[in-house]
C-alpha cells in the first residue's frame, strides 16, 4: 500500500530554505495516480481522431521574504504576516523565470499565484522574464528596462495556493488579531505585468481557509488545487507560484513513498501527465514527478531511507 508523506514548515527563521519534516504515517488522500480523468472541453478540437500530448505543471516557491532578513520589520508593519520580498528576492525570482524560459523544453502558457504579497511579487518577476521581448543579458529584475510581450502568458490569483493558515506557518503574534486574512485583489493585480492579468478565470477556492486549518487539510487543499487547475486547462502548461508547503506537496503528493526535506527560495518541481483529446473531450493520465532530488532546489528522499 502506498504511504503518502508530505511536508510542513518546521521553521520560518531559515532565510534561504524551508526545512521539511514528516508528521503523518497514514495516507492523507487517495492516490491521485490510479485513475484517469475525463475532462469536457467547450471550445477545443472537435476532431474524432485521438490526439495525445503532454501537459506540464511547474510549482514554484516564492523568493526571499523580508522578515527573514530584517526581524525588526514586523514591529512596525501594518501586515506583519504578509511580508514583501527583499531586493535579492526580486532578483532571484527574475532569474528563476529566465531559467524556466531557457531550460524548460516547453512554454509556460498560464500562471496561478497565491494572494500573499511575496508570491505575487515573485510571479510578477517570473512572468516578466518569461515574457521578455528583447532579452537584456545583464538584467537582474524587471526594473532593468525589460520590455515584455504580454500575449505570451496569462496570470490569475488563486486562493487555493495560499499559505498554510495556522501557527505552524504563521506566528500567532503576527497574525491578524481577528484571525481573518484580507487581501486587496485589485492592488495585488496591479503588481503584475501590464496585459498579463486574466480576469475571466474563476478561482477554485472562492474564500481563504479559516485560521488554524490542519496540516492534513492544507496538504489536501494544495493537491486538490494542483489537480483542479490542471484539469481546467488541459491544453496549457502551468506555473503555480505558492509557498514551501505547496511545493513539497507537489512532490510527495505525486511521488510514492517520498518525504520532502527542504525547499529553497524559488525552488520548483516539475510534473507531467499525458493528455488525449477526442471529440472535444480530454482524458488526462496520471501525473509523474520529473524533478530530481536537489536539482531545482527541492530536496527529498525515499521513505525507505528514513
As a three-state string, the secondary structure of the chain is CCCCCCCEECCCCCCCEEEEECCCCCCCCCCCCCCCEEEECCCCCCCCCCEEEEEEEEEEECCCEHHHCCCCHHHHCCCCCCCCECHHHHHHHHHHHHHHHHHCCCCCCEEEECCCHHHHHHHHHHHHHHCECCCCCCCCCCCCCCCECCCCCEEEECHHHCCCCCCCCCCCCCCCCCCCCCCCHHHHHCCCCCCCECCCCCCCCCCCCCCCCCHHHHHHHHHHHHHHHHHHCCCCCEEEEECHHHHHHHHHCCCCCEEEEEEECCCEEEEEEEEEEECCEEEECCCEECCCCCCCCEEEEEHHHC
pLDDT at residue 39, as a whole number: 59
When comparing pLDDT for 142 and 241, which is higher? 241
Q: Give the pTM.
A: 0.87
The string of pLDDT tens digits covering residues 245-260 is: 999 999 999 999 999 9
Residue 47 pLDDT class (50, 70, 90 cuts): low
The string of pLDDT tens digits covering residues 56-97 is: 999 999 999 999 999 899 999 999 999 999 999 999 999 999
The string of pLDDT tens digits covering residues 98-107 is: 999 999 999 9
Res. 2: pLDDT tops 70? no
Q: Give the mean pLDDT of 133-151.
A: 86
Res. 4: pLDDT tops 90? no
Amino acid at each position: 500500500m502506498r504511504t503518502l508523506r508530505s511536508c510542513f514548515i518546521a521553521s520560518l527563521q531559515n532565510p534561504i530554505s524551508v526545512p521539511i519534516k514528516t508528521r503523518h504515517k497514514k495516507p492523507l488522500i487517495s492516490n491521485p495516480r490510479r485513475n484517469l480523468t475525463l475532462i469536457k472541453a467547450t471550445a477545443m478540437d472537435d476532431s474524432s481522431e485521438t490526439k495525445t500530448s503532454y501537459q506540464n505543471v511547474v510549482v514554484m516557491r516564492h523568493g526571499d521574504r523580508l522578515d527573514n532578513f530584517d526581524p525588526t520589520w514586523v514591529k512596525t508593519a501594518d501586515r506583519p504576516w504578509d511580508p514583501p520580498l527583499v531586493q535579492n528576492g526580486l532578483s532571484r525570482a527574475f532569474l528563476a523565470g529566465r531559467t524556466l524560459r531557457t531550460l524548460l523544453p516547453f512554454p509556460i502558457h498560464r500562471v496561478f499565484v497565491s494572494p500573499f504579497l511575496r508570491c505575487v511579487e515573485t510571479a510578477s518577476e517570473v512572468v516578466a522574464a518569461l515574457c521578455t521581448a528583447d532579452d537584456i543579458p545583464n538584467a537582474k529584475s524587471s526594473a532593468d528596462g525589460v520590455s515584455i510581450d504580454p500575449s505570451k502568458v496569462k496570470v490569475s490569483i488563486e486562493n487555493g495556493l495560499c499559505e498554510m493558515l495556522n501557527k505552524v506557518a504563521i506566528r500567532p503574534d503576527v497574525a491578524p488579531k481577528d484571525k481573518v486574512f484580507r487581501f486587496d485583489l485589485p492592488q495585488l493585480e496591479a503588481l503584475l505585468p501590464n496585459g498579463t492579468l486574466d480576469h475571466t478565470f474563476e478561482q477554485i477556492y472562492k474564500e481563504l481557509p479559516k485560521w488554524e486549518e490542519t496540516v492534513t487539510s492544507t496538504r489536501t487543499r494544495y493537491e486538490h488545487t494542483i489537480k483542479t487547475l490542471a484539469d481546467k486547462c488541459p491544453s496549457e502548461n502551468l506555473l503555480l507560484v505558492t509557498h514551501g508547503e505547496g511545493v513539497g506537496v507537489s512532490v510527495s503528493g505525486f511521488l510514492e513513498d517520498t518525504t520532502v526535506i527542504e525547499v529553497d527560495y524559488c525552488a520548483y518541481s516539475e510534473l507531467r501527465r499525458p493528455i488525449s483529446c477526442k471529440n472535444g473531450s480530454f482524458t488526462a493520465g496520471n501525473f509523474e514527478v520529473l524533478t530530481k532530488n536537489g536539482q531545482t532546489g527541492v530536496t527529498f528522499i525515499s521513505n525507505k531511507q528514513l
